[in-house]
Amino acid sequence: MTKKEIVDQYFLEHRAKVLDIAAFLDRIDRSGETDADFRIDALMRCIKELQSEKEGRTERILSILSDHTTEPIDHAGMKGACGAVPPPS
Amino acid sequence: MAYIDPHIHMVSRTTDDYQRMAQAGCVAITEPAFWAGFDRSSVQGFFDYYRQLTDTEPKRAANYGIKHHCWLCINPKEAEDVGFAREVISIIPDFLDCKNVLGIGEIGLNNNSKNELIILEEQLALAERLNQLVLVHTPHLEDKLKGTTLIMDAIENTSLDPNRVLIDHVEEHTVHAVLNRGFWAGMTLYPDTKCTPQRAADIIEMHGTERLWINSAGDWGPSDPLAVPKCRLELASRGHSKSLINTISYDNPLSFLSQSGKFSVE
């Protein structure tokens, strides 16, 4: 596909997704709570990566959101994966 | 055009889904044993689940002209209790001769724990001993990258042929390593947590179609049993050939699954 064909086919879909992210962040602001959340911190790092001009953004963003330790953990917890790496407890 | 959905959990889906899948061209599915959304309290619970997979679901699917196959295992989420998991594993060989059982799966890791890894290794040994195909579940979200590496390392410590192992739920950060190490790779098409049809099409454009398939992994959570035909449509909208679309959604699953000697679309 040409660049124009790609933009023609997908622009509106991704315009909507950017607006969803903006609305999500506005919603958090309206909660009035200012304490940090590691998931939002990770999301903001991902948004910064979007501004990169180098191809491979998806893989780099998945890397930002991944656990990079290499050893198995001692015990499986009760909680499932949450999409970003929690701070050490 | 006919398609195969090589990973879908029909025990969690309605009969209407079978009908819609058949209308969309689905001719065959494979259903890995998985976590049902709750931990089962006894080995008998698994025995009944395996009966459902080997007896009940094939009949439901046949009503819509869909061939049903399955994979058996204890899934990683219920593998933390090693003693219990071993009891479940002990009943699996009794079902492996059923005509729709293709191999061991979906085994793998969930939280990347030591006990999950022990049970993964024991089920890999079972597959090795009984010469079974293997279907692998890789962990969710932030745990996927680490878990995929641990799983591939564990498989490479066995004599299993990587060409007889499919590692599922790959994304952009894992697909390259899985294919480079000689395994088959599956892309799961989920609305939120794995690949969208658009991203799967991107991965196909970047990596080609060799040893790669797509599946819906439709289950009891947010998922879409028609995700495979939607990805086919996405590929067609980008101008890809019928041949490429057929390769990724029919020929490749057929090639991998036929190694079991039991897979059939008729």
Q: What is the largest CA-CA distance in chain A?
A: 51
Extract long-range pairs of B124-127: CB within 8 Å, 24+ residues apart.
B124/B154, B124/B155, B124/B158, B124/B160, B125/B158, B126/B89, B126/B92, B126/B93, B127/B103, B127/B160
How far apart (Å, rounded) are the C-alpha atoms in residues B225 and B21?
7
pLDDT at B117 over 90: yes
The answer to whether B121 contacts chain A (CB < 8 Å) is no
The predicted pLDDT at position B1 comes to: 87
From residue B218, how far is each of A22, B34, B161 by CA, in Å?
A: 30, 12, 28
pTM of the model: 0.96
Nearest by CB to residue A81, choosing from B139, B171, B239, is: B139
Give the count of beta carbons closer than 10 Å to the beta carbon of residue B232.
25
**Residue B133, by phi and psi: left (phi above 0), alpha (psi -120 to 50) or beta?**
beta
Answer whether B206's CB lies under 8 Å from B174's CB. no
CA distance A8 to B255: 36
- Point out the residue among A10, A65, A70 whose CB comes nearest to the CB of B142: A65
| Smallest CA–CA distance from B199 into chain A, residue | A58
Q: Mean of the pLDDT values across residues B192-214? A: 97
Residues of B whose CB is below 8 A from A69 = 146
CA atoms of B134 and B143, how far apart (whole Å): 21
Tens of pLDDT, residue by residue over B237-258, are 999 999 999 999 999 999 999 9
Order of all β-strands in the sheet with B212-215: B3-5, B26-32, B67-72, B101-108, B133-137, B165-167, B184-188, B212-215
Which of A9, A73, A83 is closest, CB to CB, to B111? A73
Chain B nearest-CA distance from A9, in A, is 9
Confidence of residue B65 (pLDDT cuts 50, 70, 90): very high
Whether A88 contacts chain B with CB within 8 A: no
At residue B113, does pLDDT exceed 90?
yes
- Residue A62 touches partner B, C-beta closer than 8 Å: yes
Answer whether residue A15 shows pLDDT above 80: yes
CA quadruple B2, B174, B162, B7: dihedral sign: negative
**A61 to chain B: nearest residue by CA?**
B173
The ipTM (two decimal places) reads 0.93
**Nearby residues of B250 by Cβ (< 8 Å), 6 or more positions away:** B1, B2, B3, B4
Element (H, E) at B57: helix B57-62
Tokens of B198: 């658009």
Contacts of A68 in chain B (CB under 8 A): 145-146
A19-44: average pLDDT: 97
